[in-house]
Amino acid sequence: MSDLEPENEEKVAEQEQPAEMDPAKLLETTAALQEDEDLANIVTAEEYLMCKDVVLLEYEKQMFLDQVQADGLLVCAKGLSYERVLINILKAYSDSGNLVLVINSSDWEEKYYKSKMEPKYVHEVANTATERERVYVEGGLQFISTRILVVDLLKQRIPIELISGIIVLRAHTIIESCQEAFALRLYRQKNKTGFVKAFSSSPEAFTIGYSHVERTMRNLFVKHLYIWPRFHATVRGALQPWQTQTIELHVPLSQSMTAIQTHILDIMNFLVREIKRINRTVDMDAVTVENCVTKKFHKILQAQLDCIWHQLNSQTKLIVADLKILRSLMISTMYHDAVSAYALMKRYRSTEYALSNSGWTLLDAAEQIFKLSKQRVFNGQQEFEPEPCPKWQALTDLLTQDIPGDMHRCRRTEQPKVLILCQDARTCHQLKQYLTQGGPRFLLQQALHHEVPVGKLSDKYAKESQGSREAPSSAMKKPLKEEAASSQTSAAAAAASAAGLDELAQLLSESEAEGQHFEESYMLTMTQRMVQQEPLLDIKSDPDVSIFETIPELEQFDVTAALAAVPHQPYICLQTFKTESEGAMALEHMLEQLQPHYVVMYNTNVTAIRQLEVFEARRRLPPADRLKVYFLIHARTVEEQAYLTSLRREKAAFELIIDTKSKMVIPEYQDGKTDEAFLLFKNYDDELAGENAKSRQAGGQVSQAPKETPKVIVDMREFRSDLPCLIHKRGLEVLPLTITIGDYILTPDVCVERKSISDLIGSLNSGRLYNQCVQMQRHYAKPILLIEFDQNKPFHLQGKFMLSQQTSMANADIVQKLQLLTLHFPRLRLIWSPSPYATAQLFEELKLGKPEPDPQKAVAVGSDEPTAGEQLHFNSGIYDFLLRLPGVQTRNIHGLLRKGGSLRQLLLRSQKELEELLQSQESAKLLYDILHVAHLPEKDEVAGSTALLAAGKQFGAGSHNRFRKAAAESRRGRR
């Protein structure tokens, strides 16, 4: 009761206040009381979940409570979206008194979360530094790029102590050297009370590398790990009672497709055995036939072979490339139409490819594949009669018979709505063309597109060829927006190829140039939805409402009005599992908008299936009104195996994470909230050199002044790389500035220009590096060129592996140009670094016992205007020219510039006078000889002049005279 006594006293004091109080003051008092009451009504996390507007499933509530009560890393299964949990966490912290930063979000995630928040609490990131400082102080939520955040934290533009917390998305990508880890370290150094909450929905990513989970948690400064697999008891309890009605339709493959699949698997098996036989010493566990047909195969292989790619022989590299090609042939056979698959097969039947592959085209199985692919398109009389995709007929039966029959049985009066889900935009377009034009016409169009020689049509297709001439032009037209999107796609593809991917990445890249061209021509970018209305029997679409490209159009689209316009007909929507603009949330958005009665899974996808489960659990409908989901699946085929493999992989990943959590030891100070977090600071008083110095000074009795933290000036553009983060991690202070010369200034004399291998080759070719070295040598006593390798790549400059794709020069050319560079710039030092980690250590050692750089001077150097106290004593062009002359060096050039006068006066001076100027008899003789003695040409020069004379005779003797006449005429004109 003692706690309540002061409150009672306050109330009594309020009652005793005089009645003649000023109204303005009375209002202020009322507002203050209201504010106190609001503060008293602050809810706990459990009370927040009781609010009416908070709609979360049971497991989502538990996720929310876990993350609010203690900072941690949340890893959930794909499809069990943490998005709603995060939205409610953001809403709970939405207040102008809080500053919450969200980092590492993709574009679609940022757009999605902003749309769910109150606009007054979400602040856009300003362009200018001063504007950003003002926005930070206003509080609220900020979705910010990490590069900007790191610079603002280092420059102290952001009040670090006032940050309420940081939310990290896609936490599986946080490695020690990344910008996000840098920002979190800077934040934790000065803010011990704010929160860090991390989210990830990629459990497989945590299985790559050694102790990935522990390292990620250490980089995030969190101590708790929350694991939410699909087999979690709470998740099962939330989803089990609201199971959808699921019907699996096993569609048999045609005999030709089954045979092609078998033969491709045989060849894959042969190549896998061959690659393991050749590389007995290399760990090839990931190279299995099962993995070869799955989507993530190229990533698994790249992670395993990247470091040793240069050591593998040419046959191994060819096999890796051929496994990718065989996978694409398998996908084309299973998912694409017969004509497209045949067109792809034909490309690998060429002589050029036969000479450049690992030899699989010579096998009997390969011959059978080519033969069967042709049989799928042409009949026995070589007439054009392609077989349709097996799933087409099953889909037609569903739309025309099963779904209408089910509607009739259920006695539903409302209009049926069907959602068809496909794995990619190409399949989506294929189905749209099939449903709007019919299979035969679509296959004929594909033949014309792929330039497959049609020749004679069979009787069945003769009618279709006449119909195709009358095909509506609207089906093949491309809207302007789509053309723009296509051109952007091609531009992005060109940029990616120009970026200089290495050989392995190029081999294993997911999309080929031909694939991108196909997407472009078929106007299918991942951002488009295809929404169309289908009559019940004759399957023709209304072109006016067939396509909705962008999200706003889809939101404004009045579904009810469109359905009322076509009564008693199923409303069909074609949708990919995820899109570029909305990611995996595209499906959830579509389900909420469309509220479909039936879902047809044309392809299988783990994430989509779980999203359907969660959607149904949220609706809580009686069994009769729930979704009915049809699975169209080729049983006992590669398609089913790939689906089961993805399930098995995810389960194995979660089991590994659960096992890791049970064993891992987390230090109490890992969250960085205590001073024991020694990993944040490095004490420079404990250096070995310092200890030795102390022992010499009367046994360490003489007190020394504490050393200041070493500083490194870093150019703002360098924050795209990992190096500034690693420099800071070693205890050096990073000063971000915009400097003209160099990338890193270590001391007043040491300037470093950092080049990656691809950047080195590009700047050597363009001559940019030469100009950079001229500037560095002019202003710094010790210029350094740092050539830095990727830590995941081999540390040597041999083989095609390290070369950029857009250059054809050999390695010898690079070495020769570097030799020329060192000859031109004697003071330039080359440093070869195997990784950014080694570079950071090197910088630390280079700075030991050296003076600190001056930020003002570093910024002023190289700028057009001289700083105060600095005057340009000489012309830089003349300076560079004189340095090229024999006998002139950096030691004597300043005396020559001061006392030499002009070049004309230099020519008039005697050798004795030059000796006085240069302070050296030998140097004076070299300079005098080059200025006065006629030199005989070398043999090579003689040969070159002979060639010039021969060329002159070839072009005519009067050619030189013409030039002389022209010069004389121009002189006369001037007079």
pLDDT value for 900 = 80
Mean pLDDT of 25-36: 56
Q: What is the pLDDT of residue 874?
A: 66
CA distance 465 to 267: 37
State whether residue 27 is helix, strand or coil: helix
- pLDDT band per the 50, 70, 90 thresholds, residue 511: very low
Q: How many whole angstroms separate alpha carbon 521 and alpha carbon 518?
A: 5
Report helix, strand or coil for 890: coil
Instruction: Please give the average per-residue pLDDT across 129-154, as a whole number.
Output: 91
Work out the pLDDT band at 257, boundaries 50, 70, 90: very high
Torsion of CA 670, 673, 679, 682, to 10 degrees: -170
> Given a cut of 50, is residue 786 above it in pLDDT?
yes
Residue bearing the bigger pLDDT, 613 or 801: 613
Please, what is the angle between helix 638-663 and helix 212-220, to 10°? 60
For residue 426, what pLDDT band results from cuts at 50, 70 and 90?
Answer: confident
Per-residue pLDDT band at 411 (split at 50, 70, 90): confident
Across 944-952, average pLDDT: 53
More confident of the two residues 295 and 693: 295
Residue 687 has pLDDT above 80, yes or no: no
Look at residue 49 and tell me whether its pLDDT is greater than 50: yes
In whole numbers, what is the pLDDT of the chain averaged over residues? 77
Query: C-alpha distances in angstroms, 352 versus 347, 361, 398, 540, 850?
Result: 10, 12, 45, 44, 61
Task: Name the band, by pLDDT with cuts 50, 70 and 90, for residue 844.
Answer: very high
* pLDDT reading at 480 higher than 60: no
Ranking 228-232, 453-457, 514-518, 639-643 by mean pLDDT, the lowest is 514-518
The one-letter amino acid code at 580 reads E
Instruction: Give the model's pLDDT for residue 474.
Output: 31
pLDDT at 283 over 80: no
Stretch 565-578: mean pLDDT, rounded? Answer: 71
The reported pLDDT for the residue numbered 34 is: 56
Percentage, residues of the chain above pLDDT 70: 74
Q: Higher-confidence residue: 220 or 697?
A: 220
628-633 and 72-76 strand pairing: unpaired
pLDDT at 678: 54
pLDDT score of 467:
52
Instruction: Give me the pLDDT at residue 915, please.
Output: 86
With CA atoms as reference, report the closest residue to 216 among 74, 77, 65.
74
Whether residue 964 is predicted with pLDDT greater than 80 in this model: the reply is no
pLDDT in tens, 759-780: 998 898 888 999 999 889 888 9
**Residue closest to 322 by CA, chosen among 262, 279, 277, 270:** 270
User: Quick check: 479 pLDDT over 80?
Assistant: no
Q: What is the secondary structure of 230-257 as a DSSP string?
A: TT-HHHHHHHGGGPPEEEEEEPPPPHHH
Question: Count H helices, E strands: the chain?
Answer: 45, 20
Residue 524 has pLDDT above 60, yes or no: no
CB atoms within 10 A of CB 65: 16
Q: What does the DSSP 8-state code read for residue 457?
A: B
Distance (Å) of CA 323 to CA 287, 359, 361: 10, 12, 12
Q: Which band of pLDDT confidence, cut at 50, 70 and 90, is reported for residue 186?
A: very high
Between residues 461 and 83, the one the model is more confident about: 83
C-alpha 367/C-alpha 344 separation (Å) is: 15
So what's the pLDDT on residue 465?
A: 52
Picking from 384-393, 561-570, 727-736, 903-912, which range would have the lowest pLDDT averaged per residue? 561-570
Percent of the chain with pLDDT over 90: 38
Which band of pLDDT confidence, cut at 50, 70 and 90, is reported for residue 617?
A: very high
Cβ-proximal residues to 175 (8 Å cutoff; 6+ apart), any chain:
181, 215, 216, 219
Assign 3-class secondary structure to 377-419: CECCCCCECCCCCHHHHHHHHHHHHHHHHHHHHHCCCCCCEEE
Distance CA 320, CA 731 (A): 43
pLDDT for 517: 32
767 near 817, Cβ under 8 Å?
A: no
Residue type, 480: L
Q: What is the pLDDT of residues 743-755, one digit of tens each?
A: 999 999 999 999 9
Which pLDDT band, with edges at 50, 70 and 90, does 478 fall under? very low
151 versus 474: the higher-pLDDT residue is 151
Q: Give the per-residue pLDDT at 584.
A: 84
**How would residue 404 be classed by pLDDT, with cut points 50, 70 and 90?**
confident
Q: What is the pLDDT of residue 22?
A: 54
Instruction: Label residues 907-916 b or e (16+ Cβ within 10 Å = b).
Output: eebeeebbbe
| pLDDT for res 544 | 30
Ranges assigned E (strand) in 46-118: 72-76, 99-103
Listed ranges 93-97, 248-252, 508-512, 574-578; the one with the highest mean pLDDT: 248-252
Prediction pTM value: 0.77
Is the per-residue pLDDT at 264 higher than 90? yes
Looking at residue 38, what is its pLDDT?
Answer: 52
Average pLDDT over residues 703-723: 82
Q: State pLDDT tens for residues 790-833.
A: 887 777 765 444 433 334 445 667 888 888 898 888 889 999 99
pLDDT at residue 430 greater than cutoff 70: yes
Determine the average pLDDT of the residues in 429-447.
86
Whether the pLDDT of residue 44 is over 80: the answer is no
Phi, psi of 229, deg, nearest 5: -80, 170
Between 409-418, 447-456, 829-838, the lowest mean confidence (pLDDT) is in 409-418
Q: Give the pLDDT score at 927.
A: 87
Q: What tokens were used for 280?
A: 């007995």
Query: For position 944, what pLDDT does the model report?
Result: 53
Strand partners, 832: 787
The pLDDT score that the predictor gives to residue 3 is 43
What value, to the nearest 5°, has the Cα angle with vertex 941 and ends 935 and 942? 90
Burial degree of 255 (CB within 10 A; 0-12, 13-18, 19+)? exposed
CA–CA dist 519, 718 (Å, integer): 36
Please say if the pLDDT value at position 60 is more than 90: yes
Structure tokens belonging to residue 967:
């010069």
- pLDDT at residue 111 tops 80: yes
Most confidently modeled range among 130-144, 463-477, 521-535: 130-144
Instruction: Indicate if the pLDDT at residue 513 is higher than 60.
Output: no
* pLDDT: which is higher, 928 or 462: 928
Q: What is the DSSP string of 630-661?
A: EEEE-TTSHHHHHHHHHHHHHHHHHHHHHHHH
Query: Is 441 a residue whose pLDDT tops 80?
Result: yes
First and final CA of the chain: distance in angstroms?
111
Mean pLDDT of the region 246-262: 94
- State how far the Cα of 100 lies from the Cα of 196, in Å rounded to an integer: 10
